[in-house]
Amino acid sequence: MNILSDILNQFHEGHTTIDFPDEIKEGNYLGNIAISCFYSENSFYVNGFGDEYKDQLQLGDKVVAINGMETNTYFDKCVYPKNNLPYQSAKNYLANRRLFVGNVDDSLHIKLQNKKGKINLLTAKRSPLRIKHNFVHKVPDMYTDSLFEYRELDDFSYVRIGGFLNNTTSIEFAKIIDELRPSKGIVFDLRGNPGGNSQFAQSIVQYFSAEKKIKYWGGFNKMNKSNYRAYSMYKRSETDTSLQMKKYYDYYSSYATYSHLEGGYQYEYTNTSKGGLKDIPVVVLVNSRTASSGESFVVLLKQVIEIKVIGEPTFGSITTPLIIPLPGGGSAWIGTTIAVDEKGEIYKYIAPDIIIDPKVKDVLNGKDKALERAIFELGN
Residue at 8: amino acid letter: L
Please report, to the nearest 10 degrees, the dihedral formed by the alpha carbons of residues 182, 160, 215, 296 taken in order: 160
Chain center to CA of 210 = 29
Which sign, positive or negative, has the C-alpha torsion 81, 83, 86, 91? negative
What is the model's pTM? 0.85
Given a cut of 80, whether residue 304 has pLDDT beyond it is: yes
Cα–Cα dist 291/52, whole Å: 33
Pairing assessment for the beta strands 331-335 and 17-19 based on DSSP bridges? antiparallel
E-assigned strand segments in 84-143 = 102-103, 107-113, 119-125, 127-128, 137-138
Please report, to the nearest 10 degrees, the dihedral formed by the alpha carbons of residues 362, 363, 368, 369 taken in order: 50
Nearest CA to 14 among 380, 354, 231, 335? 335
- Stretch (H or E) spanning 338: strand 337-339
Cα–Cα dist 341/318, whole Å: 10
Question: Residue 268: helix, strand or coil by DSSP?
Answer: strand
Cα–Cα dist 114/121, whole Å: 11
345 CB contacts (<8 Å, ≥6 apart)? none
Q: Which whole number is the average pLDDT over 11-28? A: 80
High-pLDDT (> 70) share of the chain, %: 87
* 77: alpha, beta or left? (left if phi > 0; alpha if psi -120 to 50): alpha
Nearest CA to 313 among 3, 161, 92, 30? 92
Nearest CA to 341 among 294, 299, 309? 299
Q: Which residue has the higher pLDDT, 198 or 371?
A: 371
Q: Report which DSSP code applies to 304.
A: H
Q: Which whole number is the average pLDDT over 243-251? A: 64
Whether the CB-CB separation of 142 and 366 falls below 8 Å is answered with: yes
Cα–Cα dist 289/195, whole Å: 9
Whether the CB-CB separation of 298 and 309 falls below 8 Å is answered with: yes
Given a cut of 90, whether residue 377 has pLDDT beyond it is: yes
All domains of the chain in start order, with CATH: 2-138 (2.30.42.10), 148-220+267-314+349-379 (3.90.226.10), 225-258 (no CATH)
Question: Residue 259: helix, strand or coil by DSSP?
Answer: coil
* 108: alpha, beta or left? (left if phi > 0; alpha if psi -120 to 50): beta
Given a cut of 90, whether residue 343 has pLDDT beyond it is: no
104 pLDDT band, cuts 50/70/90, is confident
| Structure confidence at residue 66 (pLDDT) | 97
Nearest CA to 51 among 141, 138, 116, 121? 138
Given a cut of 80, whether residue 242 has pLDDT beyond it is: no
State the SS3 of 138-173: ECCCCCCCCCEEEEEECCEEEEEECCECCCHHHHHH
Nearest CA to 175 among 186, 159, 191, 163? 159
Question: Residue 131: helix, strand or coil by DSSP?
Answer: coil
* β partners of residue 128: 31
Given a cut of 80, whether residue 351 has pLDDT beyond it is: yes
Given a cut of 80, whether residue 261 has pLDDT beyond it is: no
pLDDT digits (tens, 9 = 90+) for 105-153: 788 999 999 999 999 999 999 988 888 888 899 998 888 888 999 999 9
Given a cut of 90, whether residue 20 has pLDDT beyond it is: no
| Structure confidence at residue 253 (pLDDT) | 66
Cα–Cα dist 311/284, whole Å: 8
| Structure confidence at residue 348 (pLDDT) | 86
Cα–Cα dist 340/348, whole Å: 8
265 pLDDT band, cuts 50/70/90, is low
Question: Average model confidence (pLDDT) for the chain?
Answer: 87
Whether the CB-CB separation of 198 and 215 falls below 8 Å is answered with: no
Given a cut of 70, whether residue 249 has pLDDT beyond it is: no
pLDDT digits (tens, 9 = 90+) for 40-97: 999 999 999 999 999 999 999 999 999 999 999 999 999 998 888 888 889 999 998 8
Given a cut of 60, whether residue 238 has pLDDT beyond it is: no
